[in-house]
């Protein structure tokens, strides 16, 4: 048998074995049962590479340090994100405990040492488009880009905030529109 035929045979058997495994239902899909190391690595790598590629060409607004953006983004973060991604002084919520994979604690200092603009592009993309099968919704269908950039502006500052500062920056005034 030629090498080509051997390769086709091995590929065919591999595809059939993969399909057999998928249809067997043997893989545990419960959110309370962690993926094995290989599956977790594959999904994590796929997510990171996909988001990085998709966000690469986004243009970050130059005024992300604007206090109006910070206030608008803070109120939205508190309403829409803190239940999963936490706030200063909170280590878990009922919702964050039940999610797998665990959502990142965005109120905690990050060990991310990369390009801040790249991080902001990724944050924007994730907020707008969500992450499949993770519990992260796509907020873009009901929120314009300006509103999402406001949340990104808030996320830049969140890890530096005390509990009291967080309360001040996330409070909605009576005249604030409850989006």
Percentage above 90 pLDDT, the chain: 76
Q: Tell whether the model's pLDDT for residue 2 goes beyond 90.
A: no
Q: Tell whether the model's pLDDT for residue 13 goes beyond 90.
A: yes
* CATH label of the domain that carries residue 132: 1.10.760.10
Q: Would you say residue 72 lies in a domain?
A: yes
Which range of residues forms the domain containing residue 89? 59-170
Q: Copy the structure tokens of residue 164.
A: 């009291």
Q: Would you say residue 177 lies in a domain?
A: no
Summarised one tens digit per residue, pLDDT across range 138-170 is 999 999 999 999 999 999 999 999 999 999 999
Where b means 16+ CB within 10 Å and e means fewer, 11-39 reads eeeeeeeeeeeeeeeeeeeeeeeebeeee
Q: Tell whether the model's pLDDT for residue 94 goes beyond 80.
A: yes
Q: Would you say residue 1 lies in a domain?
A: no
Report the number of distinct structural domains present in the chain: 1
Average of pLDDT values for 61-73? 93
Q: Tell whether the model's pLDDT for residue 174 goes beyond 60.
A: no
Q: Tell whether the model's pLDDT for residue 1 goes beyond 70.
A: no
Helix (H, G, I), strand (E, B) or coil at 47: helix
Q: Tell whether the model's pLDDT for residue 95 goes beyond 70.
A: yes
Q: Would you say residue 4 lies in a domain?
A: no
Q: What secondary structure letter does DSSP report for 24? A: H
Summarised one tens digit per residue, pLDDT across range 37-52 is 999 999 999 999 999 9
CA end-to-end span of the chain, whole Å? 67
Q: Would you say residue 67 lies in a domain?
A: yes
Q: Would you say residue 153 lies in a domain?
A: yes
Note whether 55 and 124 are within 8 A (CB): yes
Q: Would you say residue 96 lies in a domain?
A: yes
* pLDDT value of residue 112: 73
Average pLDDT of the chain to the nearest whole number: 91
Q: Tell whether the model's pLDDT for residue 120 goes beyond 90.
A: yes
Q: Would you say residue 6 lies in a domain?
A: no
Per-residue confidence at 79, pLDDT binned at 50, 70, 90?
Answer: very high
């Amino acid at each position: 048998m030629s090498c080509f035929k051997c390769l086709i045979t091995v590929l065919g058997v591999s595809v059939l074995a993969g399909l057999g495994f998928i249809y067997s239902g043997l893989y545990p899909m419960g959110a309370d049962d962690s993926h094995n190391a290989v599956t977790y690595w594959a999904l994590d790598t796929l997510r990171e590479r996909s988001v990085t590629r998709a966000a690469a060409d986004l243009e970050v607004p130059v005024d992300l340090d604007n206090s109006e953006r910070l206030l608008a983004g803070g109120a939205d973060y508190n309403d829409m994100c803190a239940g999963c991604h936490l706030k200063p002084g909170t280590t878990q919520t009922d919702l964050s405990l039940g999610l797998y994979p665990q959502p990142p604690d965005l109120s905690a200092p990050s060990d991310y040492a990369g390009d801040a603009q790249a991080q902001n592009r990724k944050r924007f993309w994730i907020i707008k488009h969500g992450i499949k099968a993770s519990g992260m919704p796509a907020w873009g269908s009901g929120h314009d880009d300006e509103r999402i950039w406001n949340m990104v502006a808030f996320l830049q500052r969140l890890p530096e905030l005390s509990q009291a500062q967080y309360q001040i920056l996330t409070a909605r005034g009576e005249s604030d529109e409850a989006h």
